[in-house]
């Protein structure tokens, strides 16, 4: 359960609206095209190259490995490891962290520590990837700039975890395995689609949570940052696009809080809970969700200047 200090609520009133003022509708549209354009191009490339440079088996490799690896990030790295949204047996923990590693988004320890720092300083100085420093910076620029995670300050408990330490130390082994599997199935063509194209798609979709979901979309909860809910990222990133919900209730294993907010990761977590594979699944009391929504609406009504324009 997450509580928000009065300081953070005050910040939510003062900061996000000012940050958004620089981006006009045309610029926002161009940025959106820049993010989604390459994804659309991949689909077009698949159609164009059908039967020449791609076959059915490659499409199965692409979709299958995309789904499994992306869920390794959303369920394994994010909801389980970083936010402790549920308890898992050792074998499942190992498997989830290996799948997350296959995304080539850094070792589990680094990923979780960076993300904890993001939540601790969301859209304030020190946030590793706030769009305050530019949309490109939030999307991928912060990685190019060489952000250094600080696990001793953010996520120190992870340093004592032998499974986290082992999977993090052997990170490149799992990356190579994620390339070797599609190569073994369909040679260089399998490596291209199940390996490289899959990495590009997982990268951009999960990075969009940091960029798109702090700029575009709706903010039903006042959270002291500029996090938003965006349905398309929610759809592509296994439910992670309900990012304003997540900033409001960080430990919740479910990011979709209403039936219309499709949350594939949440559905799989529910399935694992029903089959008793995992336990202590963190969920939010619906009464608290309603109360927070009402409080947020009252805050907006009281200070119209703080209302963000919803574009998603």
Residue ranges that bind Zn ion, judged by CB under 5 A: 227
Shortest distance, position 176 Cβ to Zn ion, whole Å: 28
- Nearest to 32, CA basis, from 192, 257, 213: 213
Shortest distance, position 295 Cβ to Zn ion, whole Å: 20
Query: CB–CB of 253/283 below 8 Å?
Result: yes
- Report residue 287 as tokens: 């009464």
Q: Determine whether 163 is exposed, middle or buried from the number of CB atoms within 10 Å of its CB (0-12, 13-18, 19+).
A: middle
Helix H or strand E encompassing 60: helix 56-71
Helix axes 56-71, 264-274, angle to 10 degrees: 70
Identify which of residues 103 and 227 has a Cβ nearer to Zn ion in the complex: 227
Identify which of residues 142 and 193 has a Cβ nearer to Zn ion in the complex: 142
Identify which of residues 155 and 194 has a Cβ nearer to Zn ion in the complex: 155
Identify which of residues 123 and 186 has a Cβ nearer to Zn ion in the complex: 123
Per DSSP, the three-state class of 234 is: helix
Give the distance from CA 156 to its chain's centroid: 21
Shortest distance, position 107 Cβ to Zn ion, whole Å: 17
Cβ within 8 Å of residue 202, ≥6 positions away: 66, 69, 70, 73, 103, 104, 105
Shortest distance, position 124 Cβ to Zn ion, whole Å: 12
Read off φ and ψ for residue 218, nearest 5 degrees: -110, 155
Identify which of residues 183 and 231 has a Cβ nearer to Zn ion in the complex: 231
What do you get for the CA distance between the two ends of the chain, in Å? Answer: 27
- Nearest to 54, CA basis, from 192, 196, 177: 192
Q: Return d(Cα 11, Cα 225) in angstroms, integer.
A: 8
Identify which of residues 61 and 233 has a Cβ nearer to Zn ion in the complex: 233
Shortest distance, position 123 Cβ to Zn ion, whole Å: 8
Identify which of residues 110 and 178 has a Cβ nearer to Zn ion in the complex: 110
Shortest distance, position 276 Cβ to Zn ion, whole Å: 26
Shortest distance, position 136 Cβ to Zn ion, whole Å: 16
Q: Apex CA 109: angle with CA 263 and CA 147, to 5°?
A: 95
């Amino acid at each position: 359960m997450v509580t928000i200090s009065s300081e953070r609520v005050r910040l939510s009133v003062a900061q996000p609206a000012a940050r958004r003022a620089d981006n006009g509708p045309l610029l926002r549209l161009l940025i959106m095209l820049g993010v989604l354009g390459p994804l659309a191009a991949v689909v077009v490339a698949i159609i164009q190259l059908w039967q020449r440079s791609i076959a059915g088996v490659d499409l199965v490799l692409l979709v299958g490995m995309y789904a499994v690896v992306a869920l390794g990030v959303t369920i394994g790295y994010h909801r389980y490891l970083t936010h402790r949204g549920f308890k898992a047996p050792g074998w499942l923990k190992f498997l989830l962290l290996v799948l997350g590693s296959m995304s080539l988004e850094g070792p589990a320890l680094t990923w979780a520590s960076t993300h904890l720092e993001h939540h601790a300083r969301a859209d304030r100085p020190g946030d590793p990837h706030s769009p305050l420093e530019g949309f490109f910076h939030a999307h991928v620029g912060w990685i190019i700039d060489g952000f250094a995670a600080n696990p001793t300050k953010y996520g120190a408990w992870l340093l004592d975890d032998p499974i986290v330490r082992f999977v993090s130390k052997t990170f490149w082994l799992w990356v190579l395995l994620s390339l070797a599997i599609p190569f073994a199935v369909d040679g260089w063509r399998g490596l291209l689609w199940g390996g490289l194209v899959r990495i590009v798609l997982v990268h951009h979709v999960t990075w969009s949570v940091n960029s798109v979901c702090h700029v575009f979309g709706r903010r039903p909860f006042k959270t002291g940052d500029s996090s938003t809910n965006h349905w398309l990222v929610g759809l592509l990133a296994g439910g992670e696009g309900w990012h304003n919900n997540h900033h409001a209730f960080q430990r919740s294993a479910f990011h979709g809080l209403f039936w219309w907010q499709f949350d594939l990761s949440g559905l799989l977590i529910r399935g694992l809970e029903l089959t008793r594979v995992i336990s202590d699944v963190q969920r939010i009391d619906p009464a608290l969700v309603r109360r927070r929504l009402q409080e947020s609406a009252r805050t907006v009504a009281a200070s119209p200047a703080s209302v963000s324009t919803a574009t998603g």
